[in-house]
Structure 1
Amino acid sequence: MTEEEIVDVIVVGAGISGLYAAYRLKQKAPELKILVLEAKDRVGGRTLTAALKICHDGNETDQFDLGGQWVTDTQENITPLLNELQLETYAQYHTGKSLAELHRHVQKYSLPMPYISLLSFLESVYSVFRLESLASNVPTWNPMMTRNADYLDQHTFADLMKPWIRNAAKPLMTAAIRTVFGCEPEQLNALFALTYAQAGGGFMRLTLTDPGCAQEKKIKGGSQQISQLLVERIGKEQVLLGTPVQKIVQNDDDTVLVTTTQNQTTFQCRKLILAIPPSQIIPIQFEPMLPGYKREMFKHMPIGSYLKFIFIFDKAFWREDGLSGEVISDGSFAPFGLSIGPMTYLIDGTSSNGTPALIGFIGGQCASVWTSVTYEERRKGLTECLSRYFGGHKISTHLIEYVEKDWNLEPYSGGCPCHNVTTGSMKDFVDGLRKPYKNIHFAGTETASQWMGYMDGAVDAGRRAASEVLVSLRDNNQLKDDDIDLYTFENQNRKYQHFRVPRSKFYYAIPIVIVTIAALAKVLFPKILQ
């Protein structure tokens, strides 16, 4: 590609969303010249698969995901793509009892949520279904059409929980927020949290491994293969790595100039798709400047604080002990004199080849504290956690490798798992994230209306941006194509602008039924809830 050669479309960002947009453009209009610019030295965005040591001599390795990894068959965008790319999935292991570390006490449980006491359990159940009821009334395309949207937008998720959660359920809910959003409830816009949950089918679906839930399946060989295979289909010569974008100029003649930091190289195109995280758009210079509603939206979307770690073993000893490997923790055990412990969430990470592993996350305040200590201190702190859960002798006897990925240090990402929204900022959500600006179109999982923050959302957003470009480049004599036209911002905005999800009375009855059943079960069959 020579300097200032004109192409039809430039896609900035070689994560799943950007690469799928380029792939769809090539499918629907193979005559278009497409170029993908990626700032990193690799493709995949917030997916990253690595070959890790699985034996003590280091001669054998297996593939593990250090970034996003889970999918479910109910995700209507990523599932067909995996089939098309011939990528197979396998079920997340979740047989046996789970563990909860709350208030410095470790306890086993078999229900979808821990049973600490009857009061806290009933409070947790009621709180979850109240949240599900609120989320069910949020239109994910335009959350400001929600009843009481202004009130929800002005308050945090912690404010939302205060009237319902007063006992032992609070640490559980806090741990869940750290795991899903990578932040604290006090930092999270209540309306955004409900929107995010609704986009994935509800809070419970975001936290469980059951069929249809967010952690149902993993991809054999790792999720980064999605991006790598898309590159092969687009053409490797059309994807330039190590090419950060510095400046974007939209000219009066409808051409777009894209200047990169690499030798100040300039590319020209007719249409541009920005498929990078909101926080990474801010440093780019725009001429003319982006509209104020977009600048303000991007500035008020901090990314979560997240670290992912993997313990690889020579034996899945937790399975032999009747445990699933899942642990939820409020960080109440705080070694080394720190204010909070490292553990947020742990789950069985055994590979598709059967290599035993436990993977986990340090999120929110836990990540803020524990990314400030050394690697060795972090490893020691997490090892102490695993020793409390499964026995120190088993950990020391069977441990092969410990690997971590601090996403806060990842160039051109700056965090994980998703961008959140501060209070008072949702009024610009639709236009700020999704609306095209002249010849610039916007993709990325944060702009999705389904499963935002997930790989499925990345595909959804990439398809919308590609559809907008295809429609804008269409000749007047070309017929409309519903497979394209229905997914543009203009059509979706027109369809859902005034759409309001009906208020459901059914959800208010569920807590009463669950509470009654749980109370009776505890009295009649106490061992079931242990």
Structure 2
Amino acid sequence: MCDSDDVMEISVPMDTDNCERYVDVIIVGAGLSGLTAAYHINKTDPGTSLCVLEANDRVGGRTLTVPLKTKNGTTDDFDLGGHWVGRSQTAIMELLDELGLETYTQRIDGTYLLQIGGDKITSYSSDTPSLPFLSLLDLKMFNNKIEKFRKTIDPAHPYECPNGEEWDKTSLETFLNQHLWTKAAKEYMRVIIRALSSMEPSQQSVLSLMASIAGSGGLEPMLEVTEDSAQGLKVKGGTQQISKILVDKVGSDRVLLNQLVERIVQNDNKVIVSCRNGLKVTGRRLILATPPAAVDKITFEPTLPVERREINKRYNFGDYIKTIVTYGEDFWTKKGLVGEVETSGGPSDVPGCDNGPITVTMDAMSHTGSPALVIFTAGKQARQWGQQQVDVRRNAVLQSLSTYFGKEALSPLDYCEKDWSKEEYIGGALASLGTGAMQYFEEGIGGNFMRVHFAGRETAVEWDGNMCGAVETGKRTALEVLEVLQ
């Protein structure tokens, strides 16, 4: 709905009249993974020539920081993409420290709101959601099972766990029905899974989620809002600046935007990349740091191994609309509310939308104190509300916020949303594997095929799907390539 005014524009210099370049390393994708790879290659061996090709007109991939109106007539930066980090996410915390970027804590003090099933809104002020006692007991037993199950999984070899074959064939929806017996507990976990993965439990396999949980140290670190968890810290000035700083470190003349890769040809001596606009780049090695949906649009000669083709086509990108709403004051805090709501959406009077437009809200105050709320619309809700006109969706979001936080929510200073499922070269914010896919995981993710090395957050063993996973795989592939070249 809105675009950042602060988009880095990079020229596209050519070495010859026939638009050809010759480098040691080609990197496809200028998101966190690809630029981290470029940064580590350049830092370790400045003599290695490289070229980063990006189909989009900006760097950052699934990070996007935009300026929005705030109090006193000023603007501030807010994240419409990757948002949080935590101290347990070693790879990205080390990179932030190396780049001189600071973090600040997510607000956690106050009362939380919960709306499961119908239109009733309940509140709680501890780590325990306001569900009936039997449902809480149900959830406790379920979480204990998850913790026990995830300890049986090596995230690098998930299919080899004792239940690997069974869990690969089983959807999360089936798993919830097998291991939960109260309606409220089931609906609560559906909301949590939507928020975690941007899709419905029926779209994912049990093993896919279990592997992610194992690689993140448990379900609690993925859900909690503490400094050691996934939602505990935010980056001062936004997360897209990480990529922009990496471009400065690597050299802007080596990062080429608007370069859609269509063909990758390789043999025993070289790899040749052809872009839609005619640019051709020849290199000794290539790092492919793009989402699975983008890989499927590239023609490979020779064809990728069957395991890689199978895993790519089995990735499901969920539906995610992320919205930032800024205000003149944090009125929810003054009412004792932390700003966090978990909901199945509540009632809806908009045709075509079964529930309201909100899955989760959180406080999004900037490090300079500009009040804001962040809203996530995920899964089926995002698919349905994504079909509505912008004004209809905006009015529904603000009305829902007023239901939770009061009439002040109806008068924002600014409103900005991003539907990640409509990103042409990305395909969505988060991806998970459906049933029957994890049998191809070990051979289909990471590693290399001849001269092509595979990066990207989906190939991470730890914190896959997160910014941390993107950084980890970027560094890993950089080391792989340098070892071969040297």
Return the TM-score normalized by structure 2: 0.94
Return the offset for 1:55: 4.2
SS in 2 for 1:150: helix
Residues 279-316 of structure 1: CA deviation (Å, up to 9, x unaligned): 11001011111111100110000111100001111010
SS in 2 for 1:302: strand
CA distance in 2, matches of 1:333, 1:215: 28
Match of 1:233 in 2: 249
CA distance in 1, matches of 2:127, 2:436: 33
With 139-148 and 126-135 compared, the bigger mean Cα shift is at 126-135
Residues 171-198 of structure 1: CA deviation (Å, up to 9, x unaligned): 1100111101000011111101001111
Q: Is the 8 A contact 1:94 1:209 kept in 2?
A: yes
CA distance in 2, matches of 1:215, 1:316: 20
Pair 1:452-2:459 in alignment:
no
Q: Is the 8 A contact 2:71 2:370 kept in 1?
A: no
CA distance in 2, matches of 1:113, 1:299: 39
CA distance in 2, matches of 1:302, 1:118: 35
CA distance in 2, matches of 1:135, 1:158: 18
Equivalent in 319, 322, 338 of residue 324 of structure 1:
338
Equivalent in 128, 136, 141 of residue 121 of structure 1:
136
CA distance in 1, matches of 2:232, 2:372: 17
SS in 1 for 2:345: coil
Q: Is the 8 A contact 1:21 1:465 kept in 2?
A: yes
Equivalent in 406, 409, 419 of residue 406 of structure 1:
419
Return the offset for 1:74: 1.3
Pair 1:385-2:400 in alignment:
yes
Match of 2:115 in 1: 101
SS in 2 for 1:227: helix
Within-5 A mapping of 1:144-163: 144-163=159-178
Q: Is the 8 A contact 2:261 2:275 kept in 1?
A: yes
One-letter code of the match for 2:439? K
Pair 1:304-2:315 in alignment:
no
Residues matched between the structures, number? 467
Pair 1:434-2:449 in alignment:
no
Pair 1:370-2:385 in alignment:
yes
One-letter code of the match for 1:309? T
CA distance in 2, matches of 1:140, 1:148: 13
Q: Is the 8 A contact 1:340 1:369 kept in 2?
A: no
Residues 142-179 of structure 1: CA deviation (Å, up to 9, x unaligned): 10121110000000111212122232111110011110
Match of 1:76 in 2: 90
Mind listing any 5+ residue stretches in structure 1 that lack a counterpart? 475-530
Within-5 A mapping of 1:110-259: 110-167=125-182, 168-252=184-268, 254-259=269-274
RMSD: 1.2
Residues 485-523 of structure 1: CA deviation (Å, up to 9, x unaligned): xxxxxxxxxxxxxxxxxxxxxxxxxxxxxxxxxxxxxxx
SS in 2 for 1:62: strand
Q: Is the 8 A contact 1:124 1:165 kept in 2?
A: yes
One-letter code of the match for 1:199? G
Match of 2:481 in 1: 469
Equivalent in 268, 275, 300 of residue 286 of structure 1:
300
Q: Is the 8 A contact 1:301 1:421 kept in 2?
A: yes
Q: Is the 8 A contact 2:171 2:204 kept in 1?
A: yes
Q: Is the 8 A contact 1:132 1:202 kept in 2?
A: yes
SS in 2 for 1:399: coil
Match of 1:358 in 2: 373
CA distance in 2, matches of 1:113, 1:379: 31
One-letter code of the match for 2:412? L
Mind listing any 5+ residue stretches in structure 2 that lack a counterpart? 1-13
CA distance in 2, matches of 1:163, 1:296: 28
